[in-house]
Amino acid sequence: MAGQEEQAVKYYTLEEIEKHKDSKSTWVILHHKVYDLTRFLEEHPGGEEVLREQAGGDATENFEDVGHSTDARELSKTFIIGEVHPDDRPKLAKPTETLITTVESNSSWWTNWVIPAISALAVAMMYRIYIAED
Closest CA to 94 of 51, 55, 60, 64: 60
Which CATH number do you get for residue 47? 3.10.120.10
Q: How far is CA 10 from the centre of its chain?
A: 22
Gap between the Cα atoms of 131 and 134, Å rounded: 5
pLDDT at 68: 84
Domains in the chain, number = 1
Tens digit of pLDDT for each residue in 86-119? Answer: 888 888 864 444 444 445 445 555 566 777 788 8
Beta-bridge partner residues of 36: 27
Domain-embedded: residue 32: yes
Q: Are the CB atoms for 35 and 79 separated by under 8 Å?
A: yes
Model confidence, pTM = 0.63
In a domain, residue 51? The reply is yes
